[in-house]
A = this chain, B = another copy of it.
Amino acid sequence: MTKLVGNVIFGQSGGPTSVINASAAGIFIEALEQDCINKVYGAANGIKGILEEKFYDMGMEDPKELELLKTTPSSALGSVRYKLADPDVDDTDYKRLLEVFKKYDIRYFFYNGGNDSMDTCNKVSKYMQKVGYECRVIGVPKTIDNDLAETDHCPGYGSAARYVATSTMEVYLDARVYDTPMVCILEVMGRNAGWLTAATALSAYKGAGPDLIYLPELVFDMDKFIKDVKEVYEKNNGKVIVAVSEGIKDKNGKYISEYGSDLAKEKDAFGHSQLGGTAQVLASVIKNELKCKTRAIEFSLLQRCAAHCGSKTDVEETFKAGRMAVKYAVEGYTDYMVAYEREPGKEYKCNFKLVELEKVANAEKKIPREWITEDGTGLKQDFIDYALPLIQGESAPPMEEGLPRFAKLKKVLATK
């Protein structure tokens, strides 16, 4: 295949992770090295930045700062949640994209995100093919939720899992210092897939983890939950640690977190709609039932931006995933997402492959039922074997005066 000469545009989309910029670094550094690529643009706020013609000339950045992106959390270019319309219904955005692509001679489009973003990627790719504009489109996965189909795991998951497992071990020790009862409930991100909550099982594997884990893969039953907690409470002298996914739902499909806001809505002098996350609701229930001290801890944004506690395996793979996206595109591939493939065998080894965007867009991968214990409150060794290799090695940003030195981009706006 002949090399396609032109410019690159790259965008970040969806909720950030602590390593999303590592993919960006991989893409920028690789693209700047490729002969067939002239300009490398970074879109401000993903697809929105392209539509608004707001993007940065990454060639103007100090290479040292691009290198620092590897350990800089959050989306350095800004992110977006924007769903492109079906082009058959409304092709306004697509026409505009084509216009911008032509104006800036964009021949390579890389998009970094979760399944929604792969859908965006897929739509853009199909549209460009339809109108006969040659442009290679490659998606780069990213999500702490680890729920993308067709890939062994997702960039961002290992680091978030390492942070959650580490912090859970620490909280485990802290939550049992007094010789009085205490039920501690940890809330982990994950609306539909429980991969990150399951990472607390790694702490349990190390002897300092939750007694009970509740995942969104299974229906949450409040009565069973109370019974489960009571059992551990009796057995462990009132010391109970529970980990829950924010996304657990009851048998009617109602989020447990909604139990709290329902109440809050009725009493809204301060507009309390954000009161009561899942952990808080459950802590209240337990406090009411067992009349004991409870504590709800939400990992909140901390779990997805903790670059100071990253997984080296994750950071390195994520950086390479960015590089590979560019390499594949230059080789002539288009309409794919870069994915991870784990080699069989005891020793962990991960290779890259390409999967069709079509297959990833809007699909969701959940934890297999057989990896969850029969009673639904723990993970089996299969999960430990799967997740443990992904959190190996320590990654942290370089320090300056005791605090992380994150990348500082100049963000020189591209002009035409």
Contacts and interface: CB of A to CB of B under 8 A. Distances in A.
Given A272-B276, A273-B284, A274-B294, A399 B394 contact: yes
A393 B388 contact: no
A269 interface: yes
Contacts of A308: 166-167, 170, 309
A287 B65 CA distance: 36
Contacts of A388: 401-402
A7 interface: no
Chain copies in the assembly? 2
Interface stretch (A122-130, A172-180, A329-337): A172-180
A281 interface: yes
A78 B167 contact: no
A179 B267 contact: no
Interface residues of A, number: 83
**Most B-side CB within 10 Å, residue of A80, A177, A280, A394:** A177
A81 interface: yes
A238 B297 CA distance: 27
Chain B CB within 10 Å, residue with most, of A173, A263, A404: A173
Interface string A278-290: 0011011101100
Contact of A271 (B80, B267, B285, B406): B285
Contacts of A267: 263-264, 266-267
Contact of A301 (B75, B294, B295, B391): B295
Interface string A373-397: 0000000000000001001111010
A259 B300 CA distance: 23
Given A72-B173, A80-B178, A270-B284, 6 more contacts: A74-B170, A78-B178, A81-B178, A271-B284, A273-B284, A302-B302
26 contacts: A16-B173, A16-B177, A45-B179, A74-B176, A75-B177, A78-B178, A80-B179, A166-B308, A166-B403, A167-B308, A170-B404, A206-B400, A206-B403, A263-B267, A270-B284, A270-B285, A271-B285, A271-B287, A271-B288, A274-B284, A274-B294, A274-B295, A295-B301, A298-B300, A392-B401, A392-B402
